Amino acid sequence: MLNTLKKRFALSTKGAKDFCKGTFLTTLLDIALMLPAVFVFLFLDDYLRPVFDPSASPTYGIVYYLTLALIFMAVMYVIAVFQYRSTYTTVYEESANRRISLAEKLRKLPLAFFGEKNLSDLTSTIMDDCTDLEHTFSHAVPQLFASIISILLIAVGMFFYNWQLSLALFWVAPVAVAIIVLSKRKLTKDNTENYLNRRAVSEQIQEGLDAIQEIKSYHQEEDYMAKLSEKINHHEKVLSKAELLTGVLVNGSQSILRLGLASIIIVGANMLAAGTVDLFTCLIFLVVGSRVYAPVSEVMNNLAALFYLDVRINRMNEMESLPIQQGATEFNPKNYDVEFDKVDFSYESGKQVLKGVTFTAKQGEVTALVGSSGSGKSTAARLAARFWDIQSGVIRLGGEDISRIEPETLLKSYSVVFQDVILFNASVMDNIRIGKRDASDEEVLRVARLAQCDEFVNKMPQGYQTIIGENGETLSGGERQRVSIARALLKNAPIVLLDEATASLDVENETRIQAGISELVRDKTVLIIAHRMRTVANADKIVVLDDGSVAESGSPKDLKKQNGLFAKMVDRQMANL
C-alpha cells in the first residue's frame, strides 16, 4: 500500500506513512463533526418524545446536555488539533523534503539533461509544482479519502437505522460524484493544456529577461511584447474555459445533492401517511441530511483538485525516474593521464559529435585541442570530466574508466575554466573562494594577483569585498574571466581544463595573464582549447579535430612540417594579422 501511495502521489516513504495517518485522523474529524447532529438527535429524542407520547418524560436535565455539549466540543477540538498536525504540518515537511530530493536529483543528473531543459522549466518544477502539491495535499487529498471513508461509515449506520430514508438521503451522492469522475478525461486534458500554457508564458518571460540586451539592441521590443501578449491571452482563454467547466461540473453536482433533502421529505411524507415511520425519525433524517452532504461536497471539490494535481505528480515521477550518474566514491589513480579510446558521442540520436576519437593527454604536458567551430573540441573537454556519458569507447583517468567514478568524486581532480564564466551575486573574494571553501584570505589574494585581478578590484569601492551582482554583471568579460582563472588557481587540482580561457581578454591582458596560467598548469595534466594559434604555440601536443574525428596529432613543430590542417589554420590567422 505504501509503495502504491508513493508512486501515485510522488511521496517519500515517510510522506506515505504521514498521509495514511493524516487520512485516518481526518476521517475521525469528519465523524466527530457529526457530533452536533448526534447531540441534536439525543436532545430531541429526550425532549420531543413526550410531545408524541404524553406518558413519557425527559430522562436527563439541561445540565446533562450542557455537559455533553462541552464534551463533544472538547473531543472535536482535540481531534482537530491532532488532525492539523498530522495533515498540514507533515505536508509542509514533506514539501521541504521533496524540494531537497529534487535538488539532489538534479545534482546527480548528467549535464545532457540541463541542455534539454530551460531554466524556467526547472524552476517551475521545483517551485510552482511543489507549491501546488503542498497546497493540494494539505487541503484536498487526505480530505478526499477521509470524506469517502466517513460517508461510507455514516451511510452504513443510517441504513441500519432506516434503510428507506437512508436510500432517499444518499442516492444523490454516487450520482453527483459520477458526474465529476466521468468528466475526468476532459478535465485532465484541460489541466494539461493549462499547465503547458503557463510554462510557455514563464519561458517567454525568462527568455525576455535573459536576452533583454539583444531585444533592445535590435529594436525587437514590440515583436517580443506581441508574442508575450499572445501567449498570455491564449493562457487566459484556456484557463477561463477550464475554470468554467470545472465550476459548472462541481456546482452542478453539488446542486444535485440538494435533491437529497427533497427526497427525504417526499419519501418521509409517504411513509408517515402509511404509518411505517414516525415524525421524530423523519426530523432526525432531515437534521442529519443538513450536515452529511458536507463531506460529499468535499469529495467533489477534492476530486477536481486531484485531477488538477495529476499533471504535477506525473512531472515529479518523470524526474524521479530519470537515470543518474553513479560510481565509486573512492578514487586513487596511479597518475593523471587522460586517455580517450575510440570515443563516440552524440547529444541526440542521428547527430554524431565525436567519432572514434583517440588521444592521450599526459600528466605534466599541455595538450591542445584545435579545430574549426563545431569540430567537437569543447565537447571532448567536457567529456573528459564526465559532464556527459559517452555512447561507446572509454575515457580513462590514470588507467581507470571515469564512467565508474561518481561525478563529484571525479571533479575533485579537475580545475575548469570555460569561456562562459558563471559568477555569483557575492563579493569578489567569495567568488574566488569557491575554488577552495576553507581558503584563507591570504591564499585568495595570492591567486588573485597571479590572475591579474588586482588591477580592477583595487578600483572597486570595497575592493575584494565588493558585491559584483548577479553573474558578475558589474564586471567586464575579461574581468569575469580573470576571476574564473583565480578560482581555478585556488583549487589547484591535478587536471586543468581550459576552454577559450583567454578569449575575452585583449592581447595585452592575455600576455600578462599567461604568468598566472603558467602557475596553474605546472606539473599538471592540461587540456586546452583555443582558436588563437599563438595561445597553443607552446603546447607539448596538439590534437586537431575535424568533423568530430582526430585529423592530426603531434607537436606544433611536427604539425607545421606536415602542412596539414593545423599548418593551414596557422597560416590563415597569420594572414589576418
More confident position, 34 or 76: 76
Phi, psi of 492 (to 5 degrees): 55, 50
Cell, residue 72: 463533544
Residue from 43, 364, 17, 251 nearest 4 by CA:
17
Which amino acid, residue 192? T
Q: Look up residue 268 and give its three cell numbers.
A: 418521509
Q: Are strands 400-401 and 392-397 parallel, antiparallel or unpaired?
A: antiparallel
Q: Is residue 471 a contact partner of residue 501, using CB atoms and an 8 Å limit?
A: no
Average pLDDT of span 355-361: 92
In this prediction, residues 244-258 reach a mean pLDDT of 81
User: Residue 576: which pLDDT band, with cuts at 50, 70 and 90?
Assistant: low
- For residue 142, the SS3 value is helix
**Domains of the chain: residue spans and CATH:** 2-320 (1.20.1560.10), 338-576 (3.40.50.300)
In tens, the pLDDT along 508-544 reads 666 666 666 676 677 889 898 877 777 777 788 999 9
Over the stretch 391-444, which tens digit does the pLDDT of each residue have?
899 999 988 999 999 888 898 899 888 877 888 889 999 999 998 888 999 999
Contact 502, 322 (CB under 8 A): no
Average pLDDT over residues 329-346: 90
Q: Which residues, 6 or more positions from 445, have their beta carbon under 8 angstroms from its beta carbon?
A: 464
Specify the pLDDT at position 510: 65
Amino acid 70: pLDDT: 93
- pLDDT value at residue 183: 81
- Does residue 197 carry a pLDDT above 80? yes
Q: Which residue has the higher pLDDT, 172 or 40?
A: 172
Count CA within 13 A, CB hemisphere, residue 443.
Answer: 16
How far apart, in whole angstroms, are the C-alpha atoms of residue 372 and residue 94? 50
Confidence (pLDDT) at 165: 87
Model confidence at 177, pLDDT cuts 50, 70, 90, reads confident
SS3 444: helix
pLDDT at 577 exceeding the cut of 60: no
Band of pLDDT at residue 50, cut at 50, 70 and 90: low
Q: Has residue 12 got a pLDDT over 90?
A: no
With a CB cutoff of 8 Å and minimum separation 6, the contacts of 574 are none
Report yes or no: 336 and 365 within 8 Å, Cβ to Cβ. Answer: no
First-to-last C-alpha distance (Å) of the chain: 73
Q: Is the pLDDT of residue 568 over 90?
A: no
Mean pLDDT on 246-254: 81
pLDDT at 188: 79
Least confident of 62-66, 347-351, 352-356: 347-351
Residue 513 has a pLDDT of 64
Question: Rounded to the nearest 10 degrees, how much is the dihedral formed by the CA atoms of 138, 142, 143, 145?
Answer: 160
Task: Report pLDDT for 511.
Answer: 66
For 65-127, the DSSP string reads: HHHHHHHHHHHHHHHHHHHHIIIIIHHHHHHHHHHHHHHHHHHHS-HHHHHHS-HHHHHIIII
Residue 284 pLDDT level (bands cut at 50, 70, 90): confident
The conformation of residue 129, written as its DSSP 8-state character, comes to I
Chain centroid to CA 378: 28
What tens digit of pLDDT does each residue of 129-142 get? 777 777 777 767 77
Instruction: Report whether pLDDT(110) > 80.
Output: no
Please report the pLDDT score of residue 443 as a whole number: 92
User: What is residue 371's three-state secondary structure?
Assistant: coil
Share above pLDDT 70 across residues of the chain, in percent, rounded to a whole number: 89
Give pLDDT, residue 575. Answer: 65
Q: Which residue has the higher pLDDT, 283 or 486?
A: 486
Say if residues 284 and 168 touch (Cβ distance below 8 Å). no
- Mean residue pLDDT of the chain comes to 82
pLDDT of the residue at 119? 63
> What pLDDT score was predicted for residue 396?
93
**Segment of 141-150, 219-228, 417-426 carrying the highest mean pLDDT:** 219-228
DSSP secondary structure code for residue 328 in this structure: B
Whether residue 232 has pLDDT greater than 80: yes
